[in-house]
Every structure is written in structure tokens, then in C-alpha cells.
Structure 1
Amino acid sequence: MIFANNRLGKFIRNGRLDLELTQEQLAEKLNCNLSYLGNVERGKNIPSLKLFCRIMQILNLSANEFIHPNRHEENSTYLQLIRLLPQCTPKELNILLENTRTLLENREEKPTNPL
């Protein structure tokens, strides 16, 4: 169980750092004790389901990515993009979609094993 706690703590810490939040800032947003949050990130405490859900929401993390890690788990660029997308406006999302389509249509080499 310690492995799962450490994995959860790392998942939360990475999400917090992706948004450039300090532990203090996140603890304030969550209305929880700073030392408790630090212990969650270190795998020493397990958050309640309610707190877990609030953390996922505030950090724009996918609980599904934590519960069912997939092949993108080690690709931090992919995970950062997924976490940042909810912050985009509909217009920005359309721009990103069109840019992605253009990149894929015009790349010189097609990957043999796409992500």
C-alpha cells in the first residue's frame, strides 16, 4: 500500500508543479493543513475521497489517469497538455486542434508506433 501512497503523492505533486503552485497555495485552495498536504505528497497520508476529488478538480488532473495508468504515464509532455487543456477557451481549443491537424498532415516521418 505504501507504493500506491507514494504514487498518489507523486501524481498530486506533479500536477501541482505543472500549475506552478506552491504547497501553501494548494493547501489554501483546498482549505487544508499545509503539513497534511505535504504528507499526502510524500505518501505518508491518504486524502479522503472528498479531498481527493477536490485535488483532482483544482489541479485539472484525471483520476482515471491515476487509477488506470496507460502508456502515456511516463510522457510528461502529454500529461501536461492534458492537464492544461481544461484552462483553454473554446477558441483556443479550436486553434490547438487545427494546429495539431496541420502538424500531423505535414510531418515528414510517420511514427511506426504512435502514442
Structure 2
Amino acid sequence: MNYVNLGKRIREERLKLNLTQEQLAEYVDISASYIGQIERGERNLTLDTLVRIANRLTVSIDYLLNDSIIVNDDNLLNQIKQLFDDKSLSDKQMAIDVIRTMFSHLYKD
């Protein structure tokens, strides 16, 4: 995992929200110096801390970890399957129709 890139993304999102390291640290319940070390890629963080940071910054974990997540066809198909798992047949059909419509507009000749 690239902790430097993770830290940079956390810092960028914190600054977009005009939060200080102290404010983010208080919300996440860690020290401001630890936030600084995370942002510089000097310290690892627990999953719990990462979730709290993502929640406060209102970003997804996959956004923060985007250079660490391997995206391939199997991964994408599994994500789609997870989205569809608890949906009704009519909801699944509607989603497929939306995707077909989107692709037809994207790939017009």
C-alpha cells in the first residue's frame, strides 16, 4: 500500500473542507501529530481510523485507496453482483435497462 499517496489524498480532502489537522484529529479521536504523520505517509493507520477519516471527509475508502485497489473484470463483476444480490427481479431489470441506455448514448456512431 502506498501510504504517501493515501496521506496526500487525506490532506487534499481535509483542505477542501477547510479543516485543520486538529479538527480532523478531534473528530477521529487521535492526536493532531498522528494526523500529520498519516498525511506525510510516515505512519500506518488502522482500518477503524481510516473509516472514521473517510466518514469525516465524506469520501469513500476506495477513493482514498484508489492506487492500492486492483481493478479487473472479476473485481468489477463481483461489485455488480454485490449490488444486485438483495434486489428484486424488476429492480435488476431496471438497472440493466439504465446501463444499456447509458452505453447507447456513450457509443453513438
Cα distance in 2 for partners of 1:40, 1:66 equals: 12
In structure 2, the gaps of 5 or more residues are 68-109
Higher Rg of the two aligned structures: 2
Output the aligned Cα RMSD: 1.3
Distance in 2 separating the partners of 1:27 and 1:66: 17
Residue 44 of structure 1 corresponds to 42
Query: Runs (4+) of structure 1 moved beyond 6 Å?
Result: none
- CA distance in 2 between counterparts of 1:52 and 1:64 reads 11
Match of 1:17 among 10, 15, 18: 15
Amino acid paired to 2:15: L
Aligned residues: 67
> Which of 6, 20, 23 matches 1:8?
6
The offset of 1:68, in angstroms, is 3.4
Q: Normalization by structure 2: what TM-score?
A: 0.57
User: Aligned residues: percent identity?
Assistant: 42
Tell me the residue number matched to 2:90.
Answer: none
Secondary structure at the residue paired with 1:43? coil
TM-score, length-normalised on structure 1?
A: 0.55
Which segments of 5 or more consecutive residues in structure 1 lack a partner in the other structure? Answer: 70-115
In the TM superposition, what whole-angstrom CA distance separates every residue of 1:34-56 from its partner, at most 9, and x where no partner exists? 11110000000011000000000
